[in-house]
Structure 1
Amino acid sequence: MTNKISNTLSSGLGGVSRRTVLTGIGAAGFAAAMPGIRRAHAQETTLRWWSPQTAPAQREAYDYQIRTFEEANPGVKVLFESTSDEGYPAQMAAAFASGQAPNVVTHLPSFAVSNYWQNGLLEPFDDVIAMIGPEKYYEGANKIYEITPGQHAGTGIGNSAANMLWVRTDLMEKAGIDAVPRTWDQLRDAASKMQGGGIYGAPLPYARNSMTSLVFVCFVHGAGGMIFSPDLEVAVDSAEFRNALEFYKSMREFCPPGATAYSWGESLTAFVSGATATGLYTGRVLANVNAQNPGIAEFVSAHEYPTVSEDVPHWTFNDFPSVMIPKDAPNMELTKKLAAHLFEPDGYIRQLHAAPGHVLPVLKTISSMEAYQDNEIIRKYSDDVDRMAAAAAAGHNLGWESTAHQPNTKAGQIIASHVLAEAVQRYVMNGDAMDAVVSDTAMRLEELMKG
């Protein structure tokens, strides 16, 4: 997405060993890859917080959290340092290699956290979860971080429901559609009826990029399938995977010509601008519509994305933006206090309100607070926000496809390889034979898992 879902391109260290990470980058590489580091006064204890999420409204919220933490801990200085959505793997690798790891890192996807944990680079997060209060979380919110049974590699800073179906109720009414589509057939029918007069039915991506890969994973689960079995065997040679490819191809006629180059930003803009009758995105739609196209603001609504039939449950893509602590971070006791401080209601709510409805609370106690509800967007679209929150809390991603699945620490590498996006392009755009596409995709996935 414009400033979020692109995080999911990378898995952090790409599966390399701790020794490789710590010896593979020299001083020059460290200097090139690290964010700017400012020297604190000698008498201060300095904690460093890294994040790729640095929009102005978010920085304002972070500044408040930093100020209140410093006031509560005299003599402690917190430095916020921005990383890059695309560049954080190199920046993190350089930090680990140099022994200059930050204290707290936020907003990386959950499968990056699992990769760092697997390589022995993270401090267990259980002390921080205990400080926050495990009973405050939505049920199962931390399961994705339990890479090692009984220990947590991190926690979520928020939830995202990245593949919500956005509909225009005015266009539905005009087309005589009386219910939000629940199945794929209903979605195609609705897209067909609403398409026309310069408006397309849907903004699905068909490019060789991470959005196409991630969205197609959602469609495979929407067909009742999976990319990997629970024990992480490649599972794409299935009727469900083929059905997902076939349906995705059938939707091409309802997408704008430019969809062959769409990523998250273009898909979002297509719906917000009124170029498509349906959308596929998180809650950022709400703020963007109200700011950029208020004429349709009262007609947009979010729902879980349709599946092949009502017998197949919805599958919501949540990249689980995270909080983690490098194992070698200095001042560990204060570091854990800072990590827990990020969930103090006054600061956490400010952070969530920086993009209302886009990043959703991981704490159920926050969702019910009057201070959280006291936001124009959240009040206006309370039903939609509630649906997104519930969907995200039960969500999954390629790093953890279901509650029955083992964590897949190769998920980031697979998305970055574009194997799944290429399968879509070969079948939809190039007309390659289904069996060849499926066979080649399975083989490439097996190679990536073994690599």
Structure 2
Amino acid sequence: MRIGMRIRSIAAGALLAGLMSGTASAQQVVRFLHNETDPPSIAFFNNAIKAFEAENPGVKIEMEAISTDGRLQKVMSSITTKTMPDLFKLLPEERFEFARKGYLVELDDVLKSIGEQDYVPGALVKVSGKTYDLPYTLGNFSVFWNRADLLKAKGLETPKNWDELKSAAAALTAGDQFGFVFPAGKNRMTSVYLSQMIWAAGGTYFDKDLNVTFNNPGTVKALQFLKDMAKFSPPGISSYSYSEMINSYLTGKIGLDIYAPRLAANAFSNAPDVFAKTNGAPVPAGPSGVGVKFVNSNSFAVASAAVGAKNIEGAKKFLQYLITGDRLRDFSMTAYPHLVPPLKSVQDKVVEAGAKELGGRQELARLAFDTSNSLDFDSEAGAVVKDGKVVKSGVINPYIGSIVARGIPAAVVQRVVLEGEDPAKAAAWGHDQMKRVVDELKKN
């Protein structure tokens, strides 16, 4: 009898193990890649994943957070090896190429469920009328952060144009104190920075007919300006990217910094003395008469099976959960006022929730949420400044993503700032490099 009981016990145990194994094998594992690596953002994602998994026991989320520059390398290598994460952060300039090559899954069903009318104008960009990525925040890289105490000590007003900016930077540079900072590493942030300078000087990469126009007076003026400003910037800018634009300012050794609102959020949390002396202002106007902002949607996309995605439906379900309602509000609050929610229904909630943030300094939030007179890589083709405002051509550029991914704009900056090349010569070189890329893309 004991033997029989033991046999039944073994059989029951085997059956239970089999059932557990079957349950485990049936569970969808969604791999999720992003570049929001700040501790509050990581805490948000961990909490959101825990809540989602509790509501959806058949889906498990495996998250990987990586730097912005590391994300680019990871995505490109994963595409090559067909091991792409199911859900991943997509850069705007990757959208057209990835969609065209079949790397992405259409998300029109998710968009319909959320409600297209709830998105702020310009937040959604479609490819041939179809949706391939959905934004979770708008990134404004163009707030003019300045040390009010240092300017006052020199008897200077807040600079309103490039000439005043250059003079103020010179006055604030002495010893280990620097008047200005900008990125000059071979990375995407340097390309972003150069772009807003080109636009403020009246130039664009492309015209409305999608001809390369990089070699123009605006580009030359922008490069000359950066070459001049390098004299008032830290010597390490040759490797600067996103984080260095903040970290260098938080040391207290930088007087003027044009960067995203995350700088204020990090200063408030990590360098309160610097934050207390910091003011925000609109970006100084360039030769066009306008300070043009770089504002783009930060979005998530679902990879296709063609590049190795395995759990597409689970990824879509988690995506919708992540970028709507209380999750979008809570994420936007992790670096207030840096993360501008793209849903109109959530923006008011964020402003209300942020009333007590940043020591009550709501003027900084208003600057962060002001996305007027802005362009991004997709929309800059043929844009002009008219009557003090940026006017877009309405043309969406399918080519510029490949140019930025190859680091051509950043290489142009390095040729001028680090190697001392004449700006006009560097602009001509960059133009030729870009045209070769576009010509090749058009052939294919």
Give TM class, smaller chain: 0.7 to 0.9
Instruction: Return the index of the structure with the highest Cα Rg.
Output: 2
Is 1:161 matched up with 2:140?
yes
Is 1:352 matched up with 2:332?
yes
User: What is the DSSP-based 3-state SS (H/G/I as helix, E as strand, rest coil) of the residue aligned with 1:354?
Assistant: helix
What pairs with 1:282-321 in structure 2 (closer than 5 Å)? 282-309=260-287, 312-321=289-298
Q: Provide closer, same or farther for how the CA distance between residues 308 and 71 of structure 1 changes in structure 2, counting only shifts above 3 A.
A: same
2:434 matched residue in structure 1: 445
Is 1:177 matched up with 2:160?
no
Shift of 1:158: 1.0
1:58 matched residue in structure 2: 41
Shift of 1:196: 3.6
Shift of 1:363: 1.7
Query: Of 61, 83, 87, which residue of structure 2 is paired with 1:78?
Result: 61
Task: Work out whether residues 361 and 389 of structure 1, in 8 Å CA contact, stay in contact via their aligned partners in 2.
Answer: no
Q: Provide closer, same or farther for how the CA distance between residues 379 and 343 of structure 1 changes in structure 2, counting only shifts above 3 A.
A: farther
Distance (Å, rounded) in 1 between the aligned partners of 2:58 and 2:396: 40
Q: Provide closer, same or farther for how the CA distance between residues 63 and 40 of structure 1 changes in structure 2, counting only shifts above 3 A.
A: farther
Equivalenced residue count is 406
AA paired with 1:273?
T
Structure 2-normalised TM-score? 0.81
Q: Provide closer, same or farther for how the CA distance between residues 114 and 381 of structure 1 changes in structure 2, counting only shifts above 3 A.
A: farther
Is 1:213 matched up with 2:191?
yes
Distance (Å, rounded) in 2 between the aligned partners of 1:88 and 1:202: 28
1:152 matched residue in structure 2: 131
Task: Work out whether residues 232 and 405 of structure 1, in 8 Å CA contact, stay in contact via their aligned partners in 2.
Answer: no
2:252 matched residue in structure 1: 274
Query: Of 231, 234, 250, which residue of structure 2 is paired with 1:253?
Result: 231
Query: Of 344, 357, 361, which residue of structure 2 is paired with 1:377?
Result: 357
Q: Which has the higher strand share?
A: 2
Unaligned runs of 5+ residues in structure 2 are 1-21, 384-391
Shift of 1:103: 3.6
Query: Of 268, 290, 299, which residue of structure 2 is paired with 1:322?
Result: 299
Distance (Å, rounded) in 2 between the aligned partners of 1:269 and 1:93: 28
Q: Provide closer, same or farther for how the CA distance between residues 247 and 56 of structure 1 changes in structure 2, counting only shifts above 3 A.
A: closer
**Could you tell which deviates more after superposition, 261-270 or 221-230?**
261-270
Distance (Å, rounded) in 1 between the aligned partners of 2:407 and 2:211: 19
Distance (Å, rounded) in 2 between the aligned partners of 1:174 and 1:236: 40
AA paired with 1:286?
A
Distance (Å, rounded) in 2 between the aligned partners of 1:93 and 1:274: 37
Shift of 1:318: 3.0
Task: Work out whether residues 231 and 405 of structure 1, in 8 Å CA contact, stay in contact via their aligned partners in 2.
Answer: no
1:32 matched residue in structure 2: none
Deviations 1:331-359 (A, max 9, x none): 65554332211123322222223323233
Deviations 1:220-262 (A, max 9, x none): 1110111122232111222222222222222222223333443
AA paired with 2:375?
H
User: What is the DSSP-based 3-state SS (H/G/I as helix, E as strand, rest coil) of the residue aligned with 2:335?
Assistant: coil
Is 1:135 matched up with 2:117?
yes
2:25 matched residue in structure 1: 42
Q: Provide closer, same or farther for how the CA distance between residues 177 and 228 of structure 1 changes in structure 2, counting only shifts above 3 A.
A: same
Shift of 1:208: 4.1
1:415 matched residue in structure 2: 404
Q: Provide closer, same or farther for how the CA distance between residues 433 and 153 of structure 1 changes in structure 2, counting only shifts above 3 A.
A: same
Structure 1-normalised TM-score? 0.79
Task: Work out whether residues 286 and 377 of structure 1, in 8 Å CA contact, stay in contact via their aligned partners in 2.
Answer: no
